[in-house]
Copies of this chain bind each other. A is one copy, B any other.
Amino acid sequence: MEKYRHVSSKDVAREAGVSQATVSYVLNDVPGIKIKPETRQAVLEAAKKLNYLPNLSARSMRLKKSMSIAVVSDKNVSNYGFIKILEGIKDVMIPRDYSITFSFSKFQDNETAQHVQYFLSNRIDGIIFLLVNPSKEHCQYLASKHIPFVVISHQFQEDGFHRIKNDMESAVREALTDLRSKGRETIGFFGNGIGNFADRRYATFHKTMEEMNFRLDPAQMVKMSDSEEAESAIAQFFNNRSSLPDAIICEAPGIGFRLLRYLAKTGIRVPETLSVTAFGTSKFSPLTYPALSAIESPLYQMGYSAAEMLFNIMNGKPTDNLVVLKWQYVKRESS
């Protein structure tokens, strides 16, 4: 590959009849440096004429910052969430001249994790964990190496690290209030977090149910993950039961879809006979029949806030280490 010759700041300097330093001063608007207007003008014109773009590798080396961040995620991530959050991240990072590097890194050893290597080799300046949960121990390691990072996750609960927290409580309350207003009192939960109070969706559901004096009936809660196995768990639940709950809250959209699918198949009417609501955002929730009501997180905003936070950390500006964003109850047809 023959490479197009790079125009350097030296070329601009020559063209403008000034020194390379001057070029750097005006192009970077270095604070505290005064440049005579006509010199500045000359530099600007030369730069434009030559179509000059600074070589970022050189600048990175000099500045010891790469002007790039890593977004670490894994392939099991919810697609919709991924892209929406990324959009938020991009909208703060790109205008500030950072680029965004992907990392699908699995968390193996602390040192061999891809994002760590990226940082230590000056490929990135900071990390956003996007819908994945680094362990506490890994976070401590990162902190010990002074690696700036923030965690976007619905589960991550470790204190003392920068993260985007989200408050699902008011949205859950709203959803339950809506259910109660229609006389639905027996409310089930389908999801993997059953009985596990470290699972925020389940925990918030449980807590809010208690606070609102709903009856919590373990018989109406079914443990299932958002995968094919859910189908048999759902079928089994309905086969074994003579009395149905009035409503079911699903831990994830995928569980909601599968439930809806089962109910359509077996002719159980939604929401008349059974009301369905799911945690989580999906592009497809409005497209099922009936359209799936959901308790959704503010994805774009989460990305945006995380990026702002990371930017502040990386640049030594003061920042909160916790931003709390509220979920929303989006009522559609299924509830």
- Chain A residues proximal to chain B, CB less than 8 Å: 1-4, 6, 51, 53-58, 60-61, 64, 66, 68, 71, 75, 77, 79-80, 82-83, 86-87, 90, 94, 99-104, 111, 114, 117-118, 120-123, 145-148, 254, 257-258, 260-262, 264-265, 282-284, 287-289, 291, 313-316
Please list 15 pairs of residues, one from A and one from B, whose beta carbons are closer than 8 Å in the complex, sorted by A's number.
A1-B146, A1-B148, A4-B146, A4-B147, A6-B64, A53-B120, A55-B61, A57-B123, A60-B60, A61-B61, A68-B123, A82-B83, A87-B104, A101-B101, A257-B288
With A99-B101, A148-B1 known as contacts, the answer to whether A80 contacts B83 (CB < 8 A) is: no
C-alpha spacing A146/B60, complex, angstroms = 24
State whether A58 touches B56 (Cβ < 8 A): no
Q: In chain B, what residue has the closest Cβ to A102?
A: B100
Known contacts A257-B287, A261-B287, A288-B257; decide if A145 and B4 are in contact (CB<8 Å): yes
**Chain B nearest Cβ from A112, distance in angstroms:** 11
Across-interface contacts of A254 in B (CB, < 8 A): 283, 287
Known contacts A1-B148, A4-B147; 17 additional CB pairs below 8 A are A1-B315, A4-B120, A6-B120, A53-B120, A55-B61, A68-B123, A75-B83, A75-B87, A79-B80, A79-B283, A86-B102, A90-B104, A94-B104, A101-B101, A102-B102, A260-B289, A284-B284
Bound-state Cα–Cα, A262 to B286, Å: 12
Q: Which residues of B contact A3 (CB under 8 A)?
A: 64, 146
Q: How far is the CA of A115 from the CA of B282 in the complex (A)?
A: 29
Given known A-B contacts A57-B60, A61-B57, A289-B264, A102 and B101 have beta carbons under 8 A apart: yes
Picked from B4, B66, B258, the residue with its CB within 8 Å of the CB of A287 is B258
Residues of B within 8 A of A147 (CB): 4
Q: How far is the CB of A27 from chain B (nearest CB, A)?
A: 12
A123 and B289 contact, CB distance less than 8 A? no
A288 contacts across to B, CB distance below 8 A: 257, 261, 288
